[in-house]
Amino acid sequence: MKSYRIAFVVELAIIGALTTLLFMGVSLPEVFPRAVHRLLHIAGAIVFLGNIVVSALWFSVAVTSRKNEWFVFAARLMNITDLAFTGPGLILLLSNAAVLVGAYGNPLGVGWLKWALIYFAATGAIWMGVLIPLQFRFMKQADTGIMPWSDAREQKFLGLYNAAGGAAVVLVILSLVKMVLK
């Protein structure tokens, strides 16, 4: 579990640095043609959003099944896929966003871009402050045999996880809509 935490810290530090650059209006140099950066930005969004949807489905099925082995598998796999897909997808998305934002000057001065960044940052805050800690909790509890459907306290944590996850998804969708419909 310690290696998961270290990997999460590294990914979150990179994601935090890139998000900070975006809010400060600092753009990274174009290494590739602009169209390639757009493609990589969109590819990062697809990987990021795809993992959110798949993880939510796996976790919902595992909880609904009330099968301990399914829950243990889903709790562990959610952390692994966040490290393998959500984090790298975000890094790809944000690093290329930091290149593309150069065309707009101050991103907070552009209405659609400002709100897309605010929604995205709020999603990140929920992810870092609520979802990741609860995912580690679920993984630890699953390893000890404590399942959310068999413990009243864990049911409350599961409810918090579902509410925060729902809010994070809505915010990501709002950010996506702002980006696409600009």
From CA 115, how far away is CA 109, in angstroms rounded? 10
pLDDT value at residue 2: 78
pTM of the model: 0.91
The 10s digit of each residue's pLDDT in 96-130 is 999 999 888 888 899 999 999 999 999 999 999 99
Query: Is 14 a residue whose pLDDT tops 70?
Result: yes
- The pLDDT value given to residue 65: 95
CB-based contacts of 40, cutoff 8 Å, min separation 6: 32, 92, 95, 96
- Quickly count helices (H) and strands (E) in the chain: 7, 0
Count of structural domains, the chain:
1
Quick: pLDDT tens for 28-83.
Answer: 999 999 999 999 999 999 999 999 999 999 999 999 999 999 999 999 999 899 99
Residue 3, pLDDT score: 81
pLDDT, averaged across the chain: 93
Return the pLDDT at 1: 66
CATH number for the domain spanning 45: value is: 1.20.1420
What residue numbers bound the domain in which 165 lies? 2-180
Residues 151-162: what's their mean pLDDT? 94
